[in-house]
Amino acid sequence: MSRSRIEEGAHEFLRRVRILDDEYDALRTSLSAHNGHEILAEIEAARAQEAAEAAERERLEAEERARQEAIAEQQRQALTRPAPPDFGYPPREFTPVPAPTAMPQPMAPDPNLTEEQQRQAEIRAAIARAKAARQAQSRVAPSDDDDPEAEYYRRSTWLD
């Protein structure tokens, strides 16, 4: 929509508002001239009641907003992690397991393989290297070696 059309629309709106204001003023003066004081008093009372209702509505909305903010603050405080309980002994320390020294090496060319078999072998070797690197960074071991259950968790395979 062009700027001139918007300005024309705004100008037309203001013109019609002025016309309605003029009509309202004419009705008001004609009513006051013909003993319409009672009607004018009712209109003023209705306006005062509307204003009071609007003020009450705003007060209730403000109270509801304050209540919602208080609930949100309580939820934020509930989500913060409390300090861990003190059981009288220091927490267990974990040290990362060192990365394996024997990382899979890149595939060496093999003259007995076809070009497609060579490419597949290189892909498998790359996947094995990536897997070994991920696993090396995700393992942790307990710091105390006299834990009888530690052997169970340090098993080389979980398929036994």
Q: Which domain covers residue 65, as residue numbers?
A: 3-79
What is the arithmetic mean of pLDDT over 129-156? 68
The 10s digit of each residue's pLDDT in 50-105 is: 899 999 999 999 999 999 999 988 888 877 766 666 777 766 676 666 655 565 56
**How many CB atoms neighbour CB 31 within 10 A?**
15
Backbone angles phi, psi at 88, to 5 degrees: 95, 0
pLDDT for 114 beyond 60:
yes
Model confidence at 141, in pLDDT bands (50, 70, 90)? low
Whole-angstrom CA distances from 158 to 151, 152, 153, 155 are 12, 10, 9, 7
| Residues 10, 73 within the same domain | yes
Task: Select from 47, 79, 111 the last residue of a domain.
Answer: 79
Task: Select from 79, 110, 145 the last residue of a domain.
Answer: 79
| Secondary structure of residue 115 in the 3-state scheme | helix
pLDDT of residue 40: 73
Say if 160 falls within a structural domain. no
| Residues 7, 75 within the same domain | yes
d(CA 62, CA 33): 44
